[in-house]
Amino acid sequence: MKRILTYGTFDLLHWGHIRLLQRARALGDYLVVAVSTEEFNAGKGKQTYHDYETRKMMLEAVRYVDLVIPENDWEQKIGDVERYAIDTVVMGGDWEGDPRFEVLRGHSEIVYLDRTEGVSTSKIKEDLGEG
């Protein structure tokens, strides 16, 4: 039973997110998604359209997702890997080499998947004129 973990904001859930979740889940048998809380986002100066509960509920409805947990801070990742017996952490390529994920080497495998071009939450907002 290979257990996978990924992190994200997943605001205005779109097909780029779904492709990431689909490919992450295909690397194992169980996918845990840690979704950022309002407090964590505020600390990054990030404002989401959907609140945590809504983003969590939408992710729980995705067939590739087995468990959704809160992402409260940058420091929880090693604890998450241990607590959920994670074999592989998966992130999109925009995170490749980021020390906040590279710190996991020695605790879990890390896989960076190609980011899906042509879609993003900010592009959706721009296209809808919300800037």
Two structure tokens written together for 56: 């969590």
- The answer to whether 7 contacts ligand C2G (rule: CB under 6 A) is yes
Active site residues: 44, 46
20 binds ligand C2G (CB under 6 A): yes
Q: How many residues bind ligand C2G (CB under 6 A)?
A: 17
Cβ partners under 8 Å of residue 4, min gap 6: 24, 25, 27, 28, 30, 31, 32, 86, 87, 88, 89, 90
Rounded to 5°, angle at Cα 122 from 75 and 94: 45
Contact status: 8 vs ligand C2G (CB under 6 A): yes
- Nearest-angstrom CA–CA distance, 103 and 30: 22
34 backbone dihedrals φ, ψ, rounded to 5°: -100, 115
23 lines the binding site for ligand C2G (CB under 6 A) = no
Quick check: 17 binds ligand C2G (CB under 6 A)?
Answer: yes
Mask for 81-120, x = binds ligand C2G (CB under 6 A)? ----------xx-xx-------------------xx--xx
Residues that bind ligand C2G (CB under 6 A): 7-10, 16-17, 20, 36, 71, 91-92, 94-95, 115-116, 119-120
